[in-house]
Amino acid sequence: MDFIHPSWLQIYIDKESKEFLQEHRIQELLNKYCKFLPVPIQFGKEKVWETVEGEKDKDGNDKKIEVEKDRIINNTDPLWKRKPADCTDEDYKNFYRELYPMTLDEPLFQIHLNVDYPFNLTGILYFPKVNKKVEVQKDKIQLYSNQVFFIFSVEGIVPEFLTLLHGVIDSPDIPLNVSRSYLQSDSSVKKISNYIMRKVADKLEELFKKDRKAFEAKWDDIKVFIEYGMISEEKFYERATKFNLFKNVDGKYFTADEYKGHVEKEQTDKDKKLIYLYANNEDEQHPYIVSAKEKGYDVLLMDGLLDSHFINTLEQKFADTRFLRVDSD
């Protein structure tokens, strides 16, 4: 059988698809699908400056000349393939910029996944800054299999609340090209999902215990993730009770047990129910907040994206407890 030499190969394209002959369009596709392939991908040439060894310019500096080199468009050794101990904070920030070059904000922190038994999974998940007034995007985690890109959506593979995170998951053990319902029932995927949820809970608890002040400083940005998880995942709720925080209108933070002890004496009604007063709009409800504080009551600030849903969850979980808006009757 005769083989065709690559230089003889001609590929034809129809008129409606001429955009795929444009260099910037090809570059865009290569960046999307080949960005982290494990073998170098060359696309065109690029000009770079190289130092000429042993030569100086007229100012006494190392002499540099402009040369043309093959342009390699992919990173064959992405950060998620390395061991966490070999990565610095700056490495993680640089990789985040590599994943999302149009994003100006830096991530709050990251979780490096690296396990090879009972399944193979690597990846880096970032907690992004979230504007509470903007709808959260859920298509920022890229799914790979042995560095081959497949899709941006990981719904069905990780718990729903973790689809709010950014980053990369790489696993050859996730069955691809199957329905989402099949994914949700696959035993390997369930193990991977539970592992990721546990690692996220471990990281959050570690941050809380290691430096509570720093954790509190990040609270407004990470509370949406934690509340979403506590609302939707019972296992995560049980873990998160250790580091979930209540914030009052004075900017003070409490765990659930701490806050109960803080208000129990003054805010228990005649039916022996503990009353949690809260404001969901500090400016509009300011007179009511002042009135409540004058009576010796404490007022929580619950003005986040999910706080109304979260209150429903807490009322079901907390025995003999009611949440009342500060301006209610």
- Residues, the chain, total? 329
Smallest Cα–Cα separation from 286: which of 253, 247, 323, 249?
Answer: 249
> Tens of pLDDT along 194-214?
999 999 999 999 999 999 999
The pLDDT, as a whole number, for residue 1 is: 47
Distance of CA 264 to the CA centre of its chain: 36
The pLDDT, as a whole number, for residue 310 is: 95
The pLDDT, as a whole number, for residue 138 is: 65
How far is the C-alpha of 132 from the C-alpha of 172, rounded, in Å?
35
Q: At what angle do helices 212-232 and 187-210 cross, to 10 degrees?
A: 150
> What tokens were used for 253?
């933070």
| Ranges in the chain, pLDDT < 70 | 1-9, 131-138, 152-153, 176-185
User: Please, which residues have CB within 8 angstroms of residue 246's CB and are 6 or more apart in sequence?
Assistant: 253, 254, 255, 256, 259, 300
Smallest Cα–Cα separation from 68: which of 55, 92, 49, 82?
Answer: 49
> Tens of pLDDT along 227-280?
999 999 999 999 999 999 999 999 999 999 999 999 999 999 888 999 999 999
Task: With beta carbons less than 8 A apart as the criterion, state whether 300 and 247 touch.
Answer: yes
